[in-house]
Amino acid sequence: MLIIPAIDLKDGHCVRLKQGDMNDATVFSEDPGAMARQWLDQGARRLHVVDLNGAAAGKPKNQPAIRAIVKAVGSELPVQLGGGIRDLDTIEAYIDAGISYIVIGTAAVKTPGFLQEACTAFQGHIIVALDAKDGKVAVDGWSKMTGHDVVDLAKKFEDYGVEAVIYTDIGRDGMLTGVNIEATVALARQLNVPVIASGGITDLEDVKKLCAVESEGITGAITGRAVYQGTLDFKAAQTLADKLSKSGKK
């Protein structure tokens, strides 16, 4: 089980939002490269980066900060990046710049043909992010609910060849209210590709609960506000996850 620290970028700074609200941002660092290095030094094995301005604009907006992150961690720490990625040229540029995985969210739901092309052109590098509430998918920074069932869409995207699915319960993200284990497991059971949990992780108890269902296909958990505000000690969380994985407590 990978515990994956998140770096959300807004105007070149590392921030966290409450429930996706761009007007409710807390700045945690003005040096994204240093923040990335800090997570590497603490033993992170993957980093989750979101270009929030890019997601809002539909095109990349924080390239200098993203370059600083990649430069800071080099090839030691794989970076998965999402936010405003809407065409194959952007994906190619980011992969050439050293990004390991491209995360496609809203564009996957709105233009599934683009996701299919991306999976074909960049096999092994594409992750899809599905944000859902009560089993239905939301798009456009969670501002719009769709009628799409999250399991149905995830199965379709699995057929396209996505590397993994990031599942966020948008009712819990940034609220420190615990992970929606039940919904995450229900999705993972329907898929063969790994599911990465996101949204609501608060403390080591949440890590234990996730590790208990790792065998269902949940291979990672993204954490943001909890590790920045201190309710979750990242190093302790990854150490615990490793210990539980090795002991076979599923």
* Catalytically annotated residue among 131, 169, 173, 206: 131
Q: Which two tokens stand for residue 198?
A: 């996101």
Rounded Cα distance, 245 and 214, in Å:
8
Residue 11 catalytic?
no
What b/e readout covers 106-142, taking b as 16+ CB neighbours within 10 angstroms? bbbbeeeebbbbbbeebeebbbbbbbbbeeebbbbbb
Rounded Cα distance, 249 and 14, in Å:
35
- Torsion over CA: 93, 143, 18, 240 (sign): negative
Residue 131 catalytic?
yes
Of the candidates 126, 55, 47, 52, the residue with the CA atom closest to the CA atom of residue 92: 126
Q: Cα 106 to the chain's mean position, in Å? A: 13
* Catalytically annotated residue among 8, 169, 173, 206: 8
Catalytic site positions: 8, 131
